[in-house]
Chains A and B, each alone.
Chain A
Amino acid sequence: MSGVLDLTAAQALERIRTSDLDASELWSAYRERALADDLHCFTWVSDADAPPVDGVPVAVKDLFCTEGVVSQAGSRILEGYKPPYTATAVKNMERAGIPMLAKTHQDEFAMGSSNENCAFGPVLNPWDRTRVPGGSSGGSAAAVAAGLVPWSIGTDTGGSIRQPAALCGIVGLKPTYGAVSRYGMIAFASSLDQAGPFTRDVTDAALLLGAMAGRDPADSTSLGLPEPVAIPSATDLRGLRFGVPEELSGEGIEPGVLDAFQATLDQIRELGGTVETCRLPHAPHGLAAYYLIAPAECSSNLARFDGVRYGMRNGGGGSLLEMYTETRAGGFGDEVKRRIMLGTYALSSGYYDAYYGRAQKVRTKIAEDFDAAFSTFDFVVTPTAPGVAFELGAKTADPLAMYLNDYCTVPMSLAGIPAISIPNGLSDGLPVGFQIAGPAFSENKILDAAFALEQAIGFDGSAARS
């Protein structure tokens, strides 16, 4: 049976197609595995003996609304909440023959880089159980890395797919903003949130993206992808130009991560690609802009959690204001409260122009930087995260140190462009991630380049699955 669990999703799918493998058998094997999870990845595991549709099962981040199944976004305020409808991305997967097996823990409302902001967490990193899996989609990343599920989906607002993928040694893709519908994703920052896949390899990422993506009439900001997702097949990188932004590849990056990065740049050259320095002059301001825009939107998005209609309610016997205050004081964690306060302040009359307005201008500048870079380069590459998985508790007392985890991933989020993280080696026995970003809707090109590099790197993630 362990042989079945070693298959990538694409391999398993092929065997199901050729009747070498029974979908129910695969489902049961993974269900057993998920139920035995001791990394604390899951909020829920299906109790069905057979999959609702025949295919390769998937795990879904808590914040995707799933009809009749707890969808809590990692928050006490939604503890036990079962939505009456299912998110479009999850429906799309089911329609493509990908059944939901489990749901995964995350940082509360996707705010965090370690999973330690989860009201029901934390998830442990399968490479080292004293360390964090990254966040916010930590449960989805750890579950795939540990082989508890073949693949999973998460969401990325400033790095919440790419950073945990890097810290767990798997592939994580943040698609172009608008490629996947946001309908049914419990919102953190609406102009940045984007769903994407976690997989063991690049081929699986292409398959899962193809299943999730598509224009959705229920999401006005969704566009889908202009062309079908192709199965990547490139064996070299000839003629492709890789830009290395000096702003995101030097200062503040751990030496072990930089070593792996340089080694991968060498492999790009060996595969026939060119590597040159490029400039993203405004990228260093990305975090500052992000930490105004995302909290501003979240302060509004989270206003609906008031105890009136659903979820937790405290102080229902007192005045309306008491009910609001006690519900929100008891229901939200510290990081969520911090961001609501930040965002409320940034939008306040008299401060809007100086904070939110200015941050939006920086965002435009960063997008222009990328446009300029992509006039010369096919891709911009960086280390995904500035370091490897850190120890539980190491950064919980210092929010700014935690925020720096997103230093290399936030600029792409602000620009709305796609980026993938692939594992490119180990540093002190812990995985390191390599980020490839391209222009909007260049997913096929990114996947192809990532595939060629993946073959050259030959990363072995099996240690985490044992």
Chain B
Amino acid sequence: MTGTAYEPVIGLEIHVQLGTRTKMFCSCALGFGEPPNTRTCPVCLGLPGTLPVTNAQAIRYGIAMGLAFGCEIAPRSIFHRKNYFYPDLAKGYQISQYDIPLCSGGTLGDVRLHRIHLEEDAAKLVHESASGRIHGSDSSVVDYNRGGTPLAEIVTEPDITSAAQAREWLTLLRETLRQLGVSDVDMSQGSLRCDANVSIRPAGETELGTKTELKNMNSFAHLEAGVNAEIARQTKLVEAGERVTQETLHFDPRTGALTPLRSKEEAHDYRYFPEPDLVAVAPTPELIEEIRASLPELPAARAARYEADYALTGQDARDLAWRPERARFFEAAVAAAGDGTEPRQLAIWLAQAPEEGALTPEALAALVQLVASKQVSGSGAKAVLAKLVAEGGDPAAIVEREGLGAISGDDGALAAAVAKVIAENDDIVARVRGGNEKAIGALMGPVMRETKGRADGGEVQRLIREQLGL
């Protein structure tokens, strides 16, 4: 043990299946779960003589992502062929982007992006073995339905320093992509796939350590667990004076084990060269501006605006911003409530209703105003909210009907209730009179019970003090 502290350095590579209507280079409809090899055509089967044609919608989605993240959009990006033999690759090469990607740079949250490029997905291999992995399988079959699905590969800079941050950031990315409408970002169905590059270095060091690549973590929990396991493995190695080898690892979420993926027979030389069957992608400034104008407000920006303009807590702002329907509801309530109501209170009360149900923004605004004007107590308001979610309606009418209106200080009934409790609790009254002010609390409970929760807490305390002459 050296006692040195190590810090992890993590970069992510995310493959996102774009939610276009058709495949990247042919007119086959995208699908999931259809019978094998029913979403294919001569082009995506790589039949002799066929040619790819770039999907314009995929380019638009790529540009939308680039603009959302503040990337530089290449005025002229090109596709390359990445050559290798594998049965999931119909043409013997994948059409991808290489030295001139569609988008470069940019940031999302506190992580810088390196690039975003477009490519086509490979077909799906199904291996006939117990593990479902290729090694040890007797035979494999190919389903070309997935082959040619448009993919965006998003590569971050190594700006992430913990597994928890990686998970958090990936959640933000997923929400952002979902709200951009470019993908259904369903990790369990493989439309969002994440690889992580992990290395460690002595804290404060600027040089990067040797990295390993963790493949295809198919849930947020697996990503976090996998990265943590790899950080632990590397730390143990380094502390034992050993070196980390650069390799690709498979994380087994059941056992927590990290096993090297056996390197495919030989080191790959992909022999990239410009795809001669396609012309360059050269979006016009008009197209870029049109896409920019159509971008929705994205989660990170919306959360920041809620914190700045509405004084929401970070947590409340995020909870709303990451659920666009919810955010729209909230903003409608802010508008309905008008200037006199704190948006922050609307957010707090909305948070009390995990699902809106029959609640309307107007009703929420009205309820919060009843609370603010002390016409209903906190606990009374909770009961009203539950009714609003379940049945809808007007909060004031529910208060009236259910007899939930606050008993105010001017109301003799509340003063009477306080007097009754004082009369019945000599012990407590004696303690309060003896200087123990905290004991007032012990009198409040019985008053609230007496008034069935309709009394305002501050008012009750004021009356107790008044009647005890404090």
**A interface residues with partner B (beta carbon < 8 Å):** 63-65, 71, 73, 78, 81, 83-85, 87, 182-187, 189-191, 217-221, 296-297, 299-300, 302-306, 308-310, 320-321, 324, 344, 347-349, 352, 356
| B50 CB contacts on chain A under 8 angstroms | 183-184
A349 to B84, CA, bound (A): 13
| A347 CB contacts on chain B under 8 angstroms | 83, 271-273
| Closest partner residue, chain B, to A66 (CB atom) | B49
| Closest partner residue, chain B, to A222 (CB atom) | B51
Contact of B279 among A185, A220, A321, A348 (CB under 8 A): A220
A182 to B273, CA, bound (A): 20
The reply to whether B47 and A310 form a contact with Cβ atoms under 8 Å apart is yes
| Closest partner residue, chain B, to A320 (CB atom) | B87
| Closest partner residue, chain A, to B43 (CB atom) | A218
Chain B 67-108 interface mask (CB, 8 Å, partner A; 1/0): 000000000000001010101001111000000000000000
Evaluate whether A221 and B279 lie within 8 angstroms (CB atoms) in the complex, with A304-B91, A306-B92, A321-B265 already known. Answer: yes
A321 to B87, CA, bound (A): 11
Q: Is B54 located at the chain interface by the 8 A CB criterion?
A: yes
The reply to whether B276 and A218 form a contact with Cβ atoms under 8 Å apart is no
Evaluate whether A81 and B271 lie within 8 angstroms (CB atoms) in the complex, with A190-B277, A306-B85, A347-B83 already known. Answer: no
The reply to whether A186 and B93 form a contact with Cβ atoms under 8 Å apart is no
| A309 CB contacts on chain B under 8 angstroms | 45-47, 90
| Closest partner residue, chain B, to A191 (CB atom) | B276
The reply to whether A220 and B51 form a contact with Cβ atoms under 8 Å apart is yes
A190 to B91, CA, bound (A): 14
A209 to B278, CA, bound (A): 24
| Closest partner residue, chain B, to A345 (CB atom) | B271
Chain B 11-25 interface mask (CB, 8 Å, partner A; 1/0): 000000000000000
Chain B 35-51 interface mask (CB, 8 Å, partner A; 1/0): 00000001001111111
| B278 CB contacts on chain A under 8 angstroms | 220-221
A352 to B45, CA, bound (A): 29
B249: shortest Cβ distance to chain A, in Å? 23
Q: Is B53 located at the chain interface by the 8 A CB criterion?
A: yes
Contact of B92 among A87, A184, A218, A300 (CB under 8 A): A300
The reply to whether A83 and B53 form a contact with Cβ atoms under 8 Å apart is no
Contact of A218 among B51, B54, B93 (CB under 8 A): B51
| B83 CB contacts on chain A under 8 angstroms | 299-300, 303, 347
| A324 CB contacts on chain B under 8 angstroms | 85
A297 to B92, CA, bound (A): 12
A344: shortest Cβ distance to chain B, in Å? 7
| B276 CB contacts on chain A under 8 angstroms | 189-191, 221, 297
| B48 CB contacts on chain A under 8 angstroms | 65, 71, 73, 78, 81, 83, 186-187, 304-305, 310
The reply to whether B81 and A85 form a contact with Cβ atoms under 8 Å apart is no
| Closest partner residue, chain B, to A84 (CB atom) | B42
| B142 CB contacts on chain A under 8 angstroms | 308
A356 to B273, CA, bound (A): 9
Other contacts beyond A300-B271, A347-B271: 20, CB < 8 A: A63-B49, A65-B48, A87-B49, A182-B277, A184-B49, A191-B276, A220-B51, A220-B52, A220-B277, A221-B277, A297-B276, A299-B83, A303-B83, A303-B92, A306-B85, A309-B46, A310-B48, A347-B83, A352-B271, A352-B273
Pull 16 A–B residue pairs with CB atoms less than 8 Å apart, ordered by A.
A183-B49, A183-B50, A186-B48, A191-B276, A220-B51, A221-B279, A300-B92, A300-B273, A302-B92, A303-B91, A308-B87, A309-B46, A309-B47, A321-B265, A347-B273, A348-B271
The reply to whether A303 and B85 form a contact with Cβ atoms under 8 Å apart is yes
A303 to B273, CA, bound (A): 14
The reply to whether A300 and B49 form a contact with Cβ atoms under 8 Å apart is no
Instruction: List the 7 closest A-B pairs by CB distance, nearest first.
Output: A303-B92, A347-B271, A191-B276, A190-B276, A65-B49, A186-B48, A184-B49
A156 to B56, CA, bound (A): 31
| B269 CB contacts on chain A under 8 angstroms | 348-349
The reply to whether A218 and B53 form a contact with Cβ atoms under 8 Å apart is yes
A367 to B29, CA, bound (A): 41
B268: shortest Cβ distance to chain A, in Å? 10
| A296 CB contacts on chain B under 8 angstroms | 273
| Closest partner residue, chain A, to B88 (CB atom) | A308
The reply to whether A300 and B81 form a contact with Cβ atoms under 8 Å apart is yes
| A348 CB contacts on chain B under 8 angstroms | 269, 271
A449: shortest Cβ distance to chain B, in Å? 31
Highest count of chain A CB atoms <10 Å: which of B45, B81, B276: B276
| Closest partner residue, chain A, to B144 (CB atom) | A309
Interface residues of B in 256-282 (CB under 8 A from A): 265, 269, 271-273, 276-279
The reply to whether B49 and A186 form a contact with Cβ atoms under 8 Å apart is yes
A197 to B276, CA, bound (A): 23
A83: shortest Cβ distance to chain B, in Å? 7
| A185 CB contacts on chain B under 8 angstroms | 49
| A183 CB contacts on chain B under 8 angstroms | 49-51
| A299 CB contacts on chain B under 8 angstroms | 83, 271
A73 to B278, CA, bound (A): 23
| A310 CB contacts on chain B under 8 angstroms | 47-48
A362: shortest Cβ distance to chain B, in Å? 16
| Closest partner residue, chain B, to A85 (CB atom) | B42
| A300 CB contacts on chain B under 8 angstroms | 81, 83, 92-93, 271, 273
A84 to B45, CA, bound (A): 12
Interface residues of B in 214-271 (CB under 8 A from A): 265, 269, 271
Highest count of chain B CB atoms <10 Å: which of A65, A183, A304, A344: A304
Evaluate whether A349 and B51 lie within 8 angstroms (CB atoms) in the complex, with A300-B93, A303-B92, A324-B85 already known. Answer: no
B397: shortest Cβ distance to chain A, in Å? 63
| B265 CB contacts on chain A under 8 angstroms | 321
B251: shortest Cβ distance to chain A, in Å? 26
Contact of A217 among B53, B91, B93 (CB under 8 A): B53
The reply to whether A304 and B87 form a contact with Cβ atoms under 8 Å apart is no
The reply to whether B46 and A304 form a contact with Cβ atoms under 8 Å apart is yes
A309 to B52, CA, bound (A): 18
| B279 CB contacts on chain A under 8 angstroms | 220-221
| A191 CB contacts on chain B under 8 angstroms | 276
The reply to whether A220 and B53 form a contact with Cβ atoms under 8 Å apart is yes
A17 to B433, CA, bound (A): 122
B260: shortest Cβ distance to chain A, in Å? 20
A186 to B42, CA, bound (A): 12
| B271 CB contacts on chain A under 8 angstroms | 299-300, 344, 347-349, 352
